[in-house]
Amino acid sequence: MDSESPLAELLCFDLYAASRSVTSVYRVLLEPLGLTYPQYLVMLVLWRKRETSVGELATDLQLDYNTLSPLLKRLEARGLLERRRRPDDERSVSITLTSEGQAMSGLAAHIPQAIGDAMGLDGDAITELQAGLRKITANSAAYTARRAAPDRTASP
């Protein structure tokens, strides 16, 4: 980007541009699997955990139920996962992979390495970048929470 650009000094624009660029790499890699990036994230969690609740998945993915529910419905319609009410708690829905969903794990095994190659970063650089991004996420979330909280010092 031209250093004369009004966006050149904005960290938020660099984060936005990097996110869009990496997401476009994922789009190319995930197209053969018929998955979107958010669907891939759901599958990654399930490949690792095997079973989870909708609430745990929402927490893991930092998504709300209104965003997560359509993703799960589409993956279920494709036969990749099953949702069932838990017998011990009717309010909780358990999510498990089907055999087809589990088999997809092997087809996606190359993706993390391909993403690393596309970024051109070695393992140490990726670890350092992740730490910085996680710090930004935590600090931004804390800032937002503080700003959204009612002023406790104000008199009624």
Query: In this structure, what CATH number is given to the domain that contains residue 79?
Result: 1.10.10.10
Whether 70 contacts 63, CB under 8 Å: no
Q: State the Cα–Cα distance between residues 2 and 117, nearest whole angstrom.
A: 26
- How do residues 92-112 score in pLDDT, each as one tens digit? 889 999 999 999 999 999 999
Characterise 34 by phi-psi region: left (phi > 0), alpha (psi -120 to 50), beta (else). left
3 falls in which pLDDT band (50, 70, 90)? Answer: low
Q: State the Cα–Cα distance between residues 51 and 42, nearest whole angstrom.
A: 11
Strand partners of residue 86 = 89
Query: Is 29 part of a structural domain of the chain?
Result: yes
Query: Is 114 part of a structural domain of the chain?
Result: no
Long-range contacts of 57-62 (CB under 8 A, 24+ apart): 57/95
Buried b (16+ CB within 10 A) or exposed e, 45-83: bbbeeeebbbeebbeebebeeeebeebbebbeeeebbee
Domain of residue 81, residue span: 11-109
Counting the structural domains of the chain, the total is: 1
Query: Is 50 part of a structural domain of the chain?
Result: yes
Q: What pLDDT is recorded for position 85?
A: 85
Query: Is 155 part of a structural domain of the chain?
Result: no
56 falls in which pLDDT band (50, 70, 90)? Answer: very high
Query: Is 87 part of a structural domain of the chain?
Result: yes
Q: State the Cα–Cα distance between residues 111 and 119, nearest whole angstrom.
A: 12
Query: Is 58 part of a structural domain of the chain?
Result: yes
Query: Is 22 part of a structural domain of the chain?
Result: yes
Query: Is 120 part of a structural domain of the chain?
Result: no
For residue 117, give both structure tokens: 């190659």
Residue from 89, 111, 100, 102 nearest 51 by CA: 102
Model's pTM, two decimal places? 0.83
Whether 36 contacts 30, CB under 8 Å: yes
Q: State the Cα–Cα distance between residues 126 and 131, nearest whole angstrom.
A: 9
Beta-carbon contacts of residue 58 (< 8 Å; ≥ 6 apart): 64, 65, 68
